[in-house]
Structures are given as structure tokens and as C-alpha cells.
Structure 1
Amino acid sequence: MFFIDTLETEGMGNRGYVCGGTETALVVDPPRDIDRVLAAAAVRGVRIAYVAETHVHNDAVSGGLELARVTGSRYLVPAEARVAFPRTPMADGDEVELEPDLKVRAVATPGHTPHHTSYVLADGGHDVAVFTGGSLLIGGVGRPDLVEPALTERLARAQHASAHRLADTLHDDVQVLPTHGFGSFCASSPPTDDAGTIGKERRNNEAFTLGADAFVSHLLAALDDVPAYYARVGALNAAGPAPVDLTAPPVADADGIAARLSAGEWVVDVRSRTLFSEGHVSGSFNVEAEGRPATYLAWLIPDGKPVTLLAASAAQLAAVQRELVRVGIDRPVAAATGDPGSWIRTGEMLRLLPRSDFAALAQARGRGEELVVLDVRRGSERADRHVEGSVHIPIHELHGRMADVPPGVVWVHCATGLRATIGASLLEAAGRDVVTLDDDLEAAESAGLMVAG
């Protein structure tokens, strides 16, 4: 008898797993906030005996080292991974026993990284599941370009070979349980489903439906921008992440917020973009809590820049703080919650951020108004279609390319409004007049604004 519990980290697009029997468990690719893992094991009434990493992660800081320390478990790490801490190296074919009839064996599956390793769970001698990390995903594979540009094509070919090795050695009904692929930038493509088996992937995944050359060409052509923080997170994981402190940060009052802004620090308002537009601290940036704040803030903020968080509630602040530690932003220097009127000094006013839609943009253009339309989507998104006459600067490049935005009132758009508000807040803090196009891109098509990429 075995169990497999999924630990989903939606903001990061990742999953970790707790699997085991009646007494002991193995944790695969645990999140950094290990209290979630300990709680899951407690519900099952099992002792965590092993913690396993499929690879040294780039997109999220691992909780594996700390979890192994706290639980006294063996820390299983691919043998060829270059890490600076003690661990149990796992080479191809190595096996550990959870319980007499429950075993886990390592399978070398290079591609996402050179050292990538998958783990097969066997119950009573029968393979039942494979934890594939960033190797074989649901409907795709992990991207091969996160290690070294010179290795990308070689690793893409390794991904194809690794997928076939799994399919050739495992039965069709074996569950495929990846870490990446549910919104993570480590995936080469969005998932086609929420669950998979070897048989389903064999029928639907391009790693099997395309030959090696065609697969590699298609995979390389589909690769998108790599978040800048991946290199920093990878280095943290290789060195061994420190324990995290999720207690509330020091409270920031109006004077403190003003002082931090004057010092050039980042003050980030994580309330919804609607609330931010209705009134915010001048100079603050908006990265809303419901919109993957860890990904976008980590991608945008310079390394080591102090960050102060402004949130609608203590619960919202705690949720964002938990997300940020997963990308190595360990401790906000200060925070404030509640009424934004308390975040400004006497005599100051909250700023408003104008919001509009694509129909109004079409009308403004029809009246001959001089304006700038700024598209902050990624290049792959713009390649399909774009607003005619728009300027393109991806959101992750905008902070360093303010001088490239032409003069005039800037109407900022993305695909839904989330990134547009991030971009508009950056521009407004730099002194530009802005309008957020808080609208779905399909409305731009209806307004006759779109042209083919």
C-alpha cells in the first residue's frame, strides 16, 4: 500500500511530492517553505526518511537541505550535481527502500540539466509512478537552455533520449509526476493536461510523436526569455539555502516609507491593480498578490535591492512574503497593511493611475491624439500579433530601458492588464504620464487595432 500527495505551488508553477507507505515517506523536490511538507507528513502519520532532488533548480529555492536537517532524513541529490553541502549522491540505478515492499530507484534523465535524475516508485516490485522533475512533463519537456548556451542543443537531444528511455523501461500505466510544467518558465511549453501516464505521453507528447531532429528544432524554436533571477536561484541551491524566517517584517510608517523611496529602495504595493489605480503612494510599484508576484518581482528587482511591501491585509502580506522566499527574496525590510491613507505623510496625496480599455484607445487615435502605445508582453507573444504602431519593450526589460520609451502619454498594455499595470507603475514612478490598458487583448482585435506579427 502506498500514497502520493501533491504539494502544489501555484505562483511558481511547480509541484513537489510526498510519497510513502504506512510509516515512512520520501519527499521529492520540496518547496522552500517546509512547514507545508511537515504538515502533509503529519496528516499521513509518517516519518520523512528521505528527501530527493531531481536536479539543482533554477526557478525556485529548494527546501530540501533544511527539510533533511530538520527531519534527520537522508538527502538524495544527483551524483553529478555540483553542490557545496553533504548529501547522499544518487547515480543511475541506485535504490533506496522506504518499506519492505516500497522502493525508489534513480534513473538518469539528462536534458533539463546535465545531471537531471528521475525517481521511479515501485510497490511490491511493480513500477507505479515516476517523479520526472524537469525531464518528461505533461505534454512537453523541461527547457534545456538554463545551464549554458553552448550546451542547449546537446541537452535538447538528451531530453528526447531521456523521454524515450523512460517510455522504453516503464509500463504505459505508470504515473508521470513532474515538478515543472504548470506555469513554470522551466517548461518548454504549457501543459496539455493536469495528469499524465507513460502511455498518454507516448501518444501525445512531441518527444514521442516527433523524430529527434524535428523535436530538437521545434523545442529550440519555442524557447522564450529566461528570467534573470534564475542564475541567482541556481547558485543559492548549489550553495545550500539558509532557513527562512516567515515572521512579519518590521512595520513601515509614512515617514519610513518616504525615506525608503528617497533612498532609491523599492516600495512594492501588492494590492489588486484596481485598488492601486484608485490610490497609491507616489513612487511605489504595483505587483499584485494574485498575479505571480514572486516571478515578476524577482525578475524586475536588482539583486540586493531592499524591498518594502504594502498590502491590503496581514494575510495578503504573509502570502506574498511566503512566495518571495521561494525566489530568494528572503526578508522584506519593512511592510505596511490596511488603509493606504496611512502610508503617506500629512499634506501628501495618494496618486491615481488612469485605467482604460482598447475601445477608448481606438477612439483616442480616431481623434488624432498623440500618444504612445507600449506593449510589455514577451517577444513570443508579440510574434503572433500586436497593436499597430505600438512600441515593444518586454516587462522584464522596462526598468532598464525607460529611455527607449518615446515622449508623450504612454498607454501600456499586455494580454490582460496585470503586466500593463506593473509597467505603468514603473513609468509613473519615473515621472511619465501613463494610462493602463486594463483590458483583454481580444478587445483590441474587436476595436480594429491589431495587425499580424
Structure 2
Amino acid sequence: MDVITIDTPQLGDRSYLVHDGTSALVIDPQRDTDRLEAAVRNAGVKITHVAETHIHNDYLTGGLMLAKAHGAEYLVNAADPVDYERTPVADGEVFQVGDLSVKAVATPGHTHTHLSYIVSDGQGQAVFSGGSLLYGSVGRTDLVSDDDTETLTRNQYASARRLVAEAVQDAPLYPTHGFGSFCSSGPAAQVDSSTIGEQARDNHALTDPDEDHFVSELIANLSAYPAYYAHMSPLNIEGPGPADLTVPESVDAGELGRRLNDGEWVIDLRNRVAFASNHLDGSVSFEYGDGSSFTGYLGWVLPWNDKLTLLGTHEDVENAIRDLSRIGIDSPDTATGGGPAEWAHGVPTAKYPRVGWDEVPRGSTGDEVILDVRRTDEFETSHIRGAVNIPVHDLPSRMGDVPPQRLWVHCASGYRSGIAASLLQRAGKDVVHIDAMFNEAESVGLPMAES
């Protein structure tokens, strides 16, 4: 048995190609299936089965398209109310993929209908746990509804134990979530691989003997998750279509100016340093970089399905289009080039100060306010005394709550505060971007408050 991992660090997820040298099973494929197609060609195998562990909340699946393209069976839980033909799967069913035996194991918790798959080649096993058992933790249990969270958390506790009981101790564990995904919960381990036995020894879902304690602790530590999640499950139930990954022709300077004047979302992909020093007035900073934070925060902060225009180098625009397609944001317009002078002529430009902690006022004053745009749970753990907290993902809907004074904006690292500073300036606020690590603030004398 050979397992090939298709990593999507931009969303903190993994897909898997499992094969015996001839026949292959794909588990939890992302919407941009060309990466999997390349892996299949390189392995010289034929996809006979595509399986979903659950109806995903954090990305659009490529499973239906991949199964159709290869004439493969599409394994989806029989209890999922999908709008397309699939091979309905129930707990305990076994499928043959060439020489591989694939057993479905009901592991509710992340969703009510979650399945894991234990794959055996007669000599060993591999466990594909989706959003059930993760490295060091489990998938979050609050994505279905508030009313279901406690029940699903108890299910997750039981499911982790069942999965460990069903598999051999040395079986490698291959979760879909847990590599930075907001679908994970608890103290996820920063490791790249693990086994069932290692998780039985170290995972808090398996080492905590008190179910009530586990449930209360996990629920208490659940934090906010991206707003676009609300749209993923319904689209996955319908069956997503293919992604269009082509880079369109650049919009002309006049049209770009019109969009800025009309208040449309014009997204600058350059690094936040370049943006702070010079950008098209009214544009918003979502630094692309390696893309690891870009997709989640853009999908979280901006209104769903509003028209977007991306500004950046051809490479960054091309990568951003791919990343956004995974969460159903399709066909944005673009303007490629190195900066404002190449994107538009005669469009006003703007800038704002970018500083470190040593330049920040010591506490809020009448004319200066420190604005903390981290999540509420981060703020409650520790914050600068006197700071105001409005999470970056709430800013568009809470501009009326923003203090009128000059705003010194910070987050944990500078990435989210770069987004926030651009949104605030776009709304007419006087901003300073604190581009520094929060854990260094106290060392320069800023007074801290802790709950």
C-alpha cells in the first residue's frame, strides 16, 4: 500500500491518494483536482473509488467531479442528503480497491454522519480519520449548530475510542484536518505524522478518562471560525462544479478607478510593508505571501460573493485565484503588475504609518486608541491595558463601534492588523499599523492586562 499526501497548507488540510500499484482510492479531494490528477499520472494508477469522510465545512470538494472524470465509485455516507448520485456508505461496509480492503467506520462528532476509513493490504493498515481523530486533538464539534455541540462532542469522545479499538496500534493515521485548519479544536500537535498507538498515548481525547471533563474543556476552548463556512456544506450537498483557474485579462485603468470610486472590493496582494507605503486609495490589503492566511481571512472578512478585483504579480494573482476557488469564490477580475503605477493612472494613492512596539503610546489616551483586532478569546487571555477589541472579521459590520480617535492597530503578528488598517483607512479612519509580534509588547514597557 502506498499513500500519497496532497497538502493544502492554505486551508490546513490534506487529501490522500491510496493505491496498490494499480488501483487507487482518493480521500477528501479538494476542488482543484489537477494536483491529484498529476499524482495519479505519476503513480501510473487508475482511480476506482473516491471517498468523503464528511460533508466539508471549510472547502469545496472535488470528489464528485473526480469520480465522474474517472468513472469511479463515489463513496458518501448514505445518511447525507446529497443532490447527486453516489455509492451510499454505511458503518461497517467494506469495499475492495484492487488488493486493498477499505472499511467504513462511523465516527460522528465533527458532523453527525462522519465516516473514517481503515485501509488494509493484508499486511498492515492505514487509518483515514477526516475530522475525527487528529494529531493531538479532534475535529471541532460546533459547526453543525449550537444545539448539537454537546451531543457531537460526546460523540467525538466515543468515536476516537472506537477508531483506536478498530485499528492496529502501528497503523499510520492520516487526518484531513489539523494542519492549521479552523476545523480542528484543542491542543493540536505540531507533528507531520503519527500512528494510532501514539495518539492512544498522547491525544487528550483518548487520555482524559472523564468524558464530562473532556466535553466541558473542549467546548470552552472552541474559538471563532470563518464566516464562509456557512456556505460550504450547502454547496457540497449540491455538488460543486469545476474551478476556473485561468487568469483573466487585466481590467483597464479607467474601470479600476471606477470600481474604487464605487466602493467595490479591490484587493492588493502585495506584502503589507509595500501596501502601507503606497497603495491605490480605497483598496484593501490581503497580503498573499505563501497564501497560508490569505484564503481563510479574505473569506472570513469580506461579504460573501461580493465582486472582487485582485491586484498583484501574475504569479500571486494566479495562486490567489486557485486558493479562492477552493472556498467557492470564483472568477475574480484582476490587474497584474508590480504596483499602483502599473495598475492605474490618475487614481489617487494613499499610505499610512507602519511602526513597531517602541513607537506605540503607553496605553490609550484621549487622542490615541490602541485597537486590538485579534479574536475575542485571544484578547481575553492577555491584552494591552486600555486597548479596544474588535476582531478583524467583525470590522466591516462594526465600523460604527470603532473609536473616532487615531487608531494604533495590532494583532498577534502584523498580518491581521495589516488587513484591519486598510479596512479602517478605507472607511476614513486615521490609522497606524503596528507590524510586530504581540508577545514582544510587554518587553518595551506596554502595560498588560490578563483575565
**TM-score category of the 2 structures, normalised to the smaller one:** over 0.9
Question: Which residue does the alignment assign to 2:248?
Answer: 249
Distance in 2 (CA, whole Å) between partners of 1:336 and 1:316 is 9
Question: Which residue does the alignment assign to 2:342?
Answer: 342
Question: Which residue does the alignment assign to 2:204?
Answer: 206
Deviates more, 1:59-68 or 1:283-292: 283-292
Question: Which residue does the alignment assign to 1:394?
Answer: 391
Distance in 1 (CA, whole Å) between partners of 2:109 and 2:366 is 52
Distance in 2 (CA, whole Å) between partners of 1:198 and 1:431 is 54
Alignment of 1:28-427 (within 5 A): 28-100=27-99, 102-124=100-122, 126-192=123-189, 193-210=191-208, 211-290=210-289, 291-311=292-312, 313-346=313-346, 348-362=347-361, 370-427=367-424
Distance in 1 (CA, whole Å) between partners of 2:402 and 2:116 is 46
Alignment-mate amino acid for residue 310 of structure 1? L
Distance in 2 (CA, whole Å) between partners of 1:65 and 1:190 is 33
Alignment-mate amino acid for residue 180 of structure 1? H
Q: State whether residues 366 and 405 of structure 2, in contact with CA within 8 Å, keep that contact through their aligned partners in structure 1.
A: no
What are the ranges of 5 or more consecutive residues in structure 1 without an aligned counterpart? none
Q: State whether residues 263 and 282 of structure 2, in contact with CA within 8 Å, keep that contact through their aligned partners in structure 1.
A: no
Q: Secondary structure at the match of 1:323?
A: helix
Distance in 1 (CA, whole Å) between partners of 2:194 and 2:163 is 13
What are the ranges of 5 or more consecutive residues in structure 2 without an aligned counterpart? none
Distance in 1 (CA, whole Å) between partners of 2:22 and 2:72 is 14
Q: State whether residues 413 and 438 of structure 1, in contact with CA within 8 Å, keep that contact through their aligned partners in structure 2.
A: yes
Deviation at 1:292, TM superposition (A): 1.7
Deviation at 1:408, TM superposition (A): 1.2
Q: Which runs of 4+ in 1 moved over 4 A?
A: none
Distance in 2 (CA, whole Å) between partners of 1:393 and 1:204 is 36
Distance in 1 (CA, whole Å) between partners of 2:263 and 2:425 is 15
Distance in 2 (CA, whole Å) between partners of 1:428 and 1:209 is 49
Distance in 1 (CA, whole Å) between partners of 2:134 and 2:94 is 23
Distance in 2 (CA, whole Å) between partners of 1:342 and 1:374 is 33
Task: Give TM-score scaled by structure 2 length.
Answer: 0.96
Q: Secondary structure at the match of 2:350?
A: coil
Alignment coverage as a number of residue pairs: 446
Distance in 1 (CA, whole Å) between partners of 2:219 and 2:366 is 42
Q: Please give the root-mean-square deviation of Cα atoms over the aligned residues, in Å.
A: 1.4
Q: Deviations over 1:1-46 (max 9, x none)?
A: x100101100100000001111111010001100000001111000
Alignment-mate amino acid for residue 418 of structure 1? Y
Distance in 2 (CA, whole Å) between partners of 1:24 and 1:424 is 51
Deviation at 1:358, TM superposition (A): 1.2
Identity level (%): 46
Q: State whether residues 119 and 131 of structure 1, in contact with CA within 8 Å, keep that contact through their aligned partners in structure 2.
A: yes
Deviation at 1:352, TM superposition (A): 1.4
Deviation at 1:344, TM superposition (A): 3.0
Alignment-mate amino acid for residue 146 of structure 2? P
Q: Secondary structure at the match of 1:135?
A: coil
Distance in 2 (CA, whole Å) between partners of 1:376 and 1:95 is 49
Alignment-mate amino acid for residue 337 of structure 2? T
Q: State whether residues 335 and 343 of structure 2, in contact with CA within 8 Å, keep that contact through their aligned partners in structure 1.
A: no
Distance in 1 (CA, whole Å) between partners of 2:260 and 2:136 is 45
Distance in 2 (CA, whole Å) between partners of 1:37 and 1:238 is 22
Q: State whether residues 281 and 340 of structure 1, in contact with CA within 8 Å, keep that contact through their aligned partners in structure 2.
A: yes
Q: Secondary structure at the match of 2:397?
A: coil
Q: State whether residues 132 and 178 of structure 1, in contact with CA within 8 Å, keep that contact through their aligned partners in structure 2.
A: yes
Deviation at 1:190, TM superposition (A): 4.8
Distance in 1 (CA, whole Å) between partners of 2:214 and 2:311 is 45
Distance in 1 (CA, whole Å) between partners of 2:357 and 2:163 is 48
